[in-house]
Chain A
Amino acid sequence: MIQIRRTLSHVEDIHHEFGLVAAVPLRRGAIAAVLTNPFAGRYEPDLLPLMDALGPVGLEMAQHLLAAMDVPAARIQGYGKGAIVGAAGELEHGAVWHVPGGYAMRELLGWKPSHPDARAGTQPGNALAIVPSAKKVGGPGTALDVPMTHINASYVRSHFDAIEVRVPGAPAADEIVFVLAMSTGARVHARVGGLAAADIARWDGLR
């Protein structure tokens, strides 16, 4: 059921956006995997087998992305995911990515209260926030703006971001592009207030 045709990794260092040059550049990365869409050209009522089969694919992609970004997992502060379905598929085929794509990064970055990094009364776990997502049906080279938010609290305003991902030549009609994205921090000149990462207090994945 799983046939990976191609992968594209993308890592960028943002030094500034016409403001002060960041002491440590913001690093953002995305990985796209181009898979054969096993449901292309027909209506398949049961999509759950693909969702299950994508579990290991997601984890491998997350590990590949972290290696390409060349930072320890502890430096990842933002994440997002997405899918671009080729013309012979339907949007619902992209929706199968919600569980395995989100699970993959939360598995890689997450930890529970028993972890040595856990701080009693402050941070009981990691990668607590929902992984934001976007999906669309499109032709080869279609660009997808993959939304990104803070990994522990969705309302952290400095980490609301998006990274444009595009694979030249894909997806063909019978392909799906699955995407994971991660970042090491806030927007490079974030300054519009709201909840700051340092003020996360509820640890409920939201605030």
Chain B
Amino acid sequence: MLAQIRKLIVQVDETRLEMGRPVDPPTRRALAMAVIANPCAGHYVENLDALVAIGEELGGLLGQRCVQALGIKPGQAQSYGKAAIVGEAGELEHAAAILHPKLGAPLRAAVSQGAALVPSSKKRGGLGTAIDVPLGHKDAAFVRSHFDAMEARVADAPRANEIVVAVVVTDSGRPLARVGGLQASEIKGEDGLR
């Protein structure tokens, strides 16, 4: 592997009951995180290709771990999101290099299809910094029931020379979603929007 992984973490968050009402089937969100060494930490590096390649590798690895943790077929995935927390010896652009150029294609392969933009967030932070990974429907960004976010946090990371890379995949929208808008059942899934 290109990425030097110190820790790999997978969480599954399942909601069965919200405000006293059953959520049936329960909503489930899987979060996979890798704590990796930042090869560009400590000084200015003009060319960030090393991080771009790591992003490509992690898009597949973390996406597959999420699908595996949910115990679903790739086609059953409904929404996704990605995020990175850069340790203090790195810069925000390092997160951008991991997340934006090449992470998406292998993630889309892991969830099959994925016409929509993968929503993302990034920040610089210290150990235990939390980041809210934004979520959107994988085939149509305007599906309102699937706008969501999942909090990602590693208690002992990122160290100054590390990056926490997070991917979330769900098999559902928000629990008891009822604020209208485009429904998942109505999408065409061609332009990534509707």
Contacts and interface: CB of A to CB of B under 8 A. Distances in A.
Interface of A: 3-18, 25, 36, 68, 141, 143, 164, 166-168
Interface stretch (B3-11, B97-105, B113-121, B178-186): B3-11
Nearest to B13: A8
A5 B69 contact: no
B7 A13 contact: yes
Chief secondary structure at chain B's binding surface: strand
Contacts of A6: 13-17
B121 to A, nearest CB: 15
A4 B15 CA distance: 9
B153 interface: yes
Contact of B15 (A5, A12, A17): A5
Which interface class (under 10, 10 to 19, 20 to 34, 35 or more) fits B?
20 to 34
Interface of B: 5-18, 69, 130, 150-151, 153, 155
Given A15-B5, A168-B151, A68 B12 contact: yes
Contacts of A167: 13
A12 B9 CA distance: 4
Contacts of B130: 168
Nearest to A167: B13
Given A15-B5, A168-B151, A8 B11 contact: yes
Contact of B17 (A4, A11, A18, A68): A4
A36 B9 CA distance: 28
Nearest to B19: A5
Contact of A14 (B6, B10, B150, B151): B6
